[in-house]
């Protein structure tokens, strides 16, 4: 990066500086920092930067500074592709000229009565801004002379070419003096533009501000080709594979945010959405949930995400390919902070593939394609996570009590691999009814209230379960009066529910293996030694 220059270090007159101050610009944008000094020095410049990066002022400021008040004829001409842009540029000039009313600027474009423009030209104009068509019109009528022009600016040159103005541009340029300074600004630099630069510029300085110069985090970036209708399913698989990570899902529209967060919640994920239509209070509530861990998936639009200061996300999902490369960079910048690793997955529908190519090119990032994960991948990742847990228990915990138990099994001629695999199976499949062979449900030794039996249930916040779901299911299915159901504790991956001892068997018989909110559940009498654990 170049050293950081402030406006008052750019050799700008006090009047213009004051106007810039009034416009509220705090510091020059990168394209301004790098172009203004070069244009002021008299050199030709070819500048490339994305839309919205302040290219207008990058040429307008030096054009103003180089205006010679003693000579009241067109000395700078700015060509712009459309009427709207011409007006916008003219407005930016007028703001910059707030304290220089002696400099005369005239916009000319089709659709405005030409007589008025002719009248103004006759009165004397320093800076002319116009569409190539209307400028040619004046040249043909002889109402405009370019023989004293010293600076020509081709703004949004790529658009002008696209609109078929190449010949007009070339005509106009060749009617200006050879010693002129030629400035070319464009968001993109296709070959035909380089050709124009070559034929009409002298040794231009190329100023390129690519979004690649934004700090693109060095995280894993993947994309998946997914048809629109499959996106949700693929998202769920990826979330399952990467479970226990904090994630953000970006969508391009507010409606989409609502849609996805609703669908994720109904599939049992703890997710909430954030977008610009929400009241501040609502947004604060969602952010509160995300920070305290009661949700671990946040869905947002780019605009909504701009206002939040969360940057320790593990995984970013681009449910839609972002509209703009800078959005992409900002989105993925939510991950991988503070030396943490992060990952970004971008879902690309067939319609979006070109947008993705653009992003890869402009941001100069490598986004590699991965296949859509299948059910076995999801299962394998669960196993992998369990093995990680096994490793850390071996490394960090005291297994003194358990080793003799395993040794006993080995004496019975089971191999270590068999024993471990069986334990892993129990761990992953949960203790389903099969193991539960007893009919008696004892209260008391489980921490339950007197007279109550505490059940361990294998679903929790991870499935979006709420107390009312348990009450509804147990009361509805097992016919237990709702008010007799005792305390309900919903944790991340599982829950504890207490029911009166007298109903325990019925609850077990009916609820174990039943479904709650579409999830198959196991109800198991809680054991005393089961520790309540929490991820947070
Ligand atoms: P571009 O031509 O690169 O698409 P514009 O020149 O139209 O971008 O500028 C986009 C917006 O940014 C305008 O509203 C402009 O007033 C504003 N802008 C330009 N320079 C700065 C700056 N240094 N600081 C803040 N805003 C700026
Ligand atoms: Mg522009």
Q: How far is the CA of 209 from the centre of ligand 1 (A)?
A: 14
Q: CA distances (Å), 513 to each of 78, 93, 439, 480, in order?
A: 75, 73, 16, 17
Q: How far is the CA of 111 from the centre of ligand 2 (A)?
A: 21
Contacts 24+ apart (CB under 8 A), 331-338: 331/248, 331/250, 331/302, 331/305, 332/216, 332/217, 332/219, 332/221, 333/215, 333/216, 333/217, 334/248, 334/305, 334/310, 335/217, 335/219, 336/217, 336/218, 336/219, 337/217, 337/311, 337/312, 338/312
Which DSSP string corresponds to 360-416? HHHHT---EE-PPP-HHHHHHHHHHHHHHHHHHHHHHS--TTHHHHHHHHHHTT--H
CATH number belonging to the domain at 219-375, selected among 3.40.50.10320, 3.40.50.300, 3.90.950.20, 3.40.640.10: 3.40.50.300
User: Ligand 1, atom 18: nearest CA belongs to which residue?
Assistant: 54
Q: What is the number of the ligand closest to the CA of 58?
A: 1
User: Ligand 1, atom 12: nearest CA belongs to which residue?
Assistant: 54
443 band by pLDDT with thresholds 50, 70 and 90:
low
Question: What does the pLDDT read at residue 536?
Answer: 28
pLDDT higher than threshold 60 for residue 252: yes
Tell me the per-residue pLDDT of 96-131, one tens digit each, with 9 for 90 and over.
Answer: 999 998 999 999 999 889 999 999 999 999 999 999
As a whole number of angstroms, the distance between CA 405 and CA 407 comes to: 5
Ligand 1 pocket test target in 56, 86, 92, 155 with most atoms within 8 Å of CB:
56
Domain 7-208 has CATH 3.40.50.300: yes
Kindly give the pairing relationship between strand 452-457 and strand 523-525: antiparallel
Question: What does the pLDDT read at residue 195?
Answer: 94
81 lines ligand 1 (CB under 6 A): no
Question: What does the pLDDT read at residue 429?
Answer: 73
Tell me the per-residue pLDDT of 171-182, one tens digit each, with 9 for 90 and over.
Answer: 999 999 999 999
Residues 37-41 have a mean pLDDT of: 97
Region of poorest pLDDT, from 93-97, 202-206, 233-237, 438-442: 438-442
442 band by pLDDT with thresholds 50, 70 and 90:
low
Most trustworthy range by pLDDT among 174-183, 420-429, 457-466 = 174-183
Ligand 1 pocket test target in 4, 57, 80, 157 with most atoms within 8 Å of CB:
57
338 band by pLDDT with thresholds 50, 70 and 90:
low
Residues 257-268 have a mean pLDDT of: 88
211 band by pLDDT with thresholds 50, 70 and 90:
low
**Fold type of domain 452-533:** Alpha-Beta Plaits (3.30.70)
Residues 329-343 have a mean pLDDT of: 77
Residues of the chain with CATH 3.30.70.330: 452-533
32 lines ligand 1 (CB under 6 A): yes
Residues 263-276 have a mean pLDDT of: 87
pLDDT higher than threshold 60 for residue 359: yes
Atom of ligand 1 nearest to the CA of 50: 3
* Mean of per-residue pLDDT scores for the chain: 86
Region of poorest pLDDT, from 29-43, 190-204, 339-353: 339-353
Sheet holding 127-130, edge to edge: 105-108, 127-130, 76-79, 151-154, 181-186, 45-49, 205-209
As a whole number of angstroms, the distance between CA 190 and CA 159 comes to: 11
pLDDT higher than threshold 50 for residue 260: yes
Q: How far is the CA of 257 from the centre of ligand 1 (A)?
A: 29
35 lines ligand 1 (CB under 6 A): no
Residues of the chain with CATH 3.40.50.300: 7-208, 219-375
Atom of ligand 1 nearest to the CA of 156: 2
As a whole number of angstroms, the distance between CA 453 and CA 444 comes to: 8
Residues 511-519 have a mean pLDDT of: 87
48 lines ligand 1 (CB under 6 A): no
Question: What does the pLDDT read at residue 284?
Answer: 85
Q: How far is the CA of 57 from the centre of ligand 1 (A)?
A: 7
Region of poorest pLDDT, from 271-275, 365-369, 492-496: 492-496
């Amino acid at each position: 990066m170049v050293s950081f220059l402030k406006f008052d270090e750019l050799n700008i007159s006090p009047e213009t500086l004051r106007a810039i101050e009034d416009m509220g610009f705090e510091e020059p944008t990168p394209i301004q920092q790098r172009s203004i000094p070069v244009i002021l020095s008299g050199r030709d410049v070819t500048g490339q930067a994305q839309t919205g990066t302040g290219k207008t002022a990058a040429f307008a400021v030096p054009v103003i500074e180089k205006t010679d008040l003693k000579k009241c004829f067109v000395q700078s001409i700015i060509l712009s592709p459309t009427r709207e842009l011409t007006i916008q540029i003219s407005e930016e000039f007028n703001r910059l000229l707030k304290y220089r009313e002696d400099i005369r600027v005239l916009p000319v474009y089709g659709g405005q009565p030409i007589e008025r423009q002719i009248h103004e030209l006759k009165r004397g104009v320093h800076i002319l801004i116009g569409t190539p068509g209307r400028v040619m019109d004046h040249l043909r009528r002889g109402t405009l002379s370019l023989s004293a022009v010293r600076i020509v600016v081709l703004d949004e040159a790529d658009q002008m070419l696209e609109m078929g103005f190449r010949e007009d541009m070339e005509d106009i340029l060749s009617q200006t003096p050879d010693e002129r300074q030629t400035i070319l600004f464009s968001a993109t630099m296709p070959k035909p533009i380089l050709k124009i630069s070559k034929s009409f510029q002298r040794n231009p300085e190329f100023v390129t501000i690519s979004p690649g110069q934004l700090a693109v985090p060095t995280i894993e970036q993947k994309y998946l080709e997914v048809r629109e209708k499959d996106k949700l399913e693929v998202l769920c698989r990826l979330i399952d594979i990467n479970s226990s990570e904090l994630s953000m899902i970006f969508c391009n529209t507010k409606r989409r945010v609502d849609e996805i967060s609703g669908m994720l919640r109904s599939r049992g994920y703890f997710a909430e959405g954030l977008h610009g239509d929400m009241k501040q209070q609502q947004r604060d509530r969602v952010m509160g949930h995300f920070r305290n861990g009661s949700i671990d998936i946040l869905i947002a639009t780019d605009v909504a995400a701009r206002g939040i200061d969360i940057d320790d996300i593990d995984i970013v999902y681009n449910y839609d390919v972002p509209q703009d490369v800078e959005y992409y960079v900002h989105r993925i910048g939510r991950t991988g902070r503070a030396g943490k690793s992060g990952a970004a997955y971008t879902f690309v529908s067939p319609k979006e593939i070109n947008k993705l190519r653009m992003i890869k090119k402009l941001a100069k990032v490598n986004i590699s394609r991965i296949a859509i994960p299948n059910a076995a991948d999801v299962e394998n990742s669960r196993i992998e996570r369990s093995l990680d847990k096994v490793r850390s228990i071996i490394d960090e915990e005291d297994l003194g009590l358990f080793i003799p138990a395993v040794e006993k099994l080995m004496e019975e001629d089971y191999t270590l691999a068999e024993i471990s695999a069986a334990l892993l199976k129990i761990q992953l499949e949960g203790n389903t009814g099969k193991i539960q062979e007893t009919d008696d449900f004892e209260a008391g030794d489980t921490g339950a209230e007197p007279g109550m039996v505490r059940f361990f249930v294998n679903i929790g916040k991870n499935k979006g379960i709420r107390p009312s779901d348990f009450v509804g299911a147990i009361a509805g299915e097992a016919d237990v009066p709702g008010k007799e159901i005792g305390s309900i504790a919903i944790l991340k991956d599982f829950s504890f529910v207490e029911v009166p001892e007298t109903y325990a068997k019925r609850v077990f018989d009916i609820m174990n293996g039943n479904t709650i909110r579409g999830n198959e559940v196991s109800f198991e009498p809680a054991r005393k030694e089961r520790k309540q654990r929490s991820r947070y």
